[in-house]
Chains A and B, each alone.
Chain A
Amino acid sequence: MAGDIGKIRIRVPSSAKAGDVIRVRCLVIHPMERIERDAQGKIVDRNYNYITRVTATYLGKPVAVFDLTQSVSENPAFSFALKATAPGPVTVTFVDTHGGKYESRADIAFA
């Protein structure tokens, strides 16, 4: 699975019309590493790799920003809403603690 890190899928409705509030859902393949403890219960001190920020934009403007901790699941999914005003792109960008930045895009089409 290691080679899949940063793979993203985004789902948007197949079509929308102006004024619709639509829901977008995305998933990213990421380990979201948990804090490990040694045999004595002491935290293993290292740079854990987990996503700290997810930024969702529509037509270039942010609609939702998620700030995360290690209490969020491996391969996390995120959902949010947006008000469709024009056809155009939704982008989602993920940033992790190892400097990884992963981005994907889906297009909102008007019927």
Chain B
Amino acid sequence: MSVRVALRSAAIAIVIAGCALATRESTPVASPAWTSHVIPEARGEIRVAPDGTRTAVRYKGWTARDFGAFRTYAYDDARPEPPVQKATMPANVVGDPKAGRALFLNRQKGPCTGCHLVPGADVWPAGGVGPDLSTLGDRKLPDSYLYQQLWDPRVIFPATVMPPWGAQRIFTPEEIVHLVAYLQTLHGPPPTDSDPDHNPFTRRRSTGFGDNLDPTNNPAVIRAEEARALWSARGPKGKACADCHANGPERAMRGVAARYPRVVAEYGRVTSLEDFLTVHAEATTGRALPSESDENVDLTVMIKMASNGLPVAIDTTSPAARAAIERGRATFFRRVGERNHACADCHTPDRGANKFLGGRFLGDVTAGLTRHLPTWRTDRNEIWDMRKRFQWCMTPLGANMLAADAVEYAELELFLTTFDVGKPINAPGIRH
């Protein structure tokens, strides 16, 4: 925590020195007593080179881009949402529909096809979060209207989930003119599509990866089985988990995971199982189990498996829990990052949930999204806990991630877990 605050102060110093941005930051809120134990790549740190170049420290293979200019989920980040911007279409640019189509499909940009269907066999896989634009040109909307919609749609639809592409400088004014020119070429009748999978509104859902508890199907189960050795291994203090928690992890830990995340009075904050291990294991055995280390995640899977089949039974009624859930709810609806998105934009049923974003079917928070975590990710060949999933989500949003054990994430995870109450735990999951 202190590292992050210090880094944020450094960021403020740089901003002031460079007079680059008119950001306002409130005095950081005093953090609860918590000693952060997180592997270096999961701390959300920013490195500043002697020449002033800033790079974000993230996991291997993740972008190193610093999104410091955009607001984050940090409770002490008091920057407001980007202001709503009216825009006038530049008169001196001639729109090129071909260039516009290329921009529409460009995966380095939106891609616009992540949310909108347009004609073309090369449009794959289009999403259905936003309206099908296949015949938009028939609506004879003025160019200036479409330009504004792309520049900052909040002028027209205040509650939209569409990012303010121009206001946030993700597309340039010229590029938006080309996009408008392309959209105006889209006339009906809509192309007859013999392939239902091409259209996100008729596409079949993936059938998934089979039995998540079968070790010959889900490598995370093997990892959890191997973690038994860690359970019995003595730490520097001469103690092992097994010394205090008798009868093996399956019986000793039965039901434990069903109560997490929870407010732990000793640490004055909400902790997930993973968070708790980072401090508890070190306090009792002397063994460091930093957040996002393989050992921490593997033990978490093992402990959570001991509660498989039991209903989630977190505390949602104590005053401390209720206050934390409310803060988590506020985070869920808070817009952050370059794209000015909230978690809710993709994961509530009245917005993006249960629709395709590109080729991915978006989960619905009200169905409960935490019971299968930590989960095996087949595309990464890694186990991801909820925190790494949060950190990953920050990257496409264009927001710097917080430390994996940040209290903001803990309270967000607590809020999400309220939707799982009463439903059976089934970990580790297996997902794409």
| A contacts, CB < 8 Å to B | 1, 4, 7, 9-11, 25-27, 29, 74-75, 77
Contacts and interface: CB of A to CB of B under 8 A. Distances in A.
Interface string B210-235: 00001111010111001000000000
Contacts of A26: 216
Contact of B222 (A11, A25, A29, A74): A29
B217 A77 contact: yes
B294 interface: yes
B215 A9 contact: yes
A10 B216 contact: yes
B381 interface: yes
Contacts of A10: 216
Given A7-B222, A77-B216, 4 more contacts: A4-B226, A25-B216, A29-B222, A77-B217
A11 B216 contact: yes
Contacts of B226: 4, 7
Contacts of A25: 214, 216-217
B222 A1 contact: no
B381 A4 contact: no
Contact of A75 (B214, B294, B381): B381
7 contacts: A9-B215, A25-B216, A26-B216, A27-B216, A29-B219, A75-B381, A77-B216
A4 B222 contact: yes
A27 B222 CA distance: 10
A27 B381 contact: no
Contacts of B217: 25, 27, 77
Contacts of A75: 219, 381
A10 B215 CA distance: 8
A29 B223 CA distance: 10
Contact of B214 (A1, A11, A29): A11
A1 B216 contact: no
Nearest to B381: A74
A1 to B, nearest CB: 7
Contacts of A9: 215-216, 221-222
Contacts of B222: 4, 7, 9, 27, 29
Contact of A4 (B214, B216, B221, B223): B223
B228 to A, nearest CB: 13
Contacts of A7: 222, 226
Nearest to A79: B216
B122 to A, nearest CB: 21
A29 B216 CA distance: 10
Contacts of B216: 9-11, 25-27, 77
Q: Which of B214, B215, B216, B382 has the most CB of A within 10 A?
A: B216
Interface string B183-226: 00000000000000000000000000000001111010111001
Contacts of B223: 1, 4
Nearest to A75: B219
A4 B223 CA distance: 8
Contacts of B382: 1
B215 A1 contact: no
A90 B216 CA distance: 15
B416 to A, nearest CB: 27
Nearest to B382: A1
Interface in B300-358: none
B335 to A, nearest CB: 36
Contacts of A74: 381
Nearest to B215: A9
B295 to A, nearest CB: 11
B251 to A, nearest CB: 23
Contacts of B219: 27, 29, 75
Closest 9 CB pairs of A and B: A9-B215, A27-B216, A25-B216, A75-B219, A74-B381, A11-B216, A9-B216, A77-B216, A26-B216
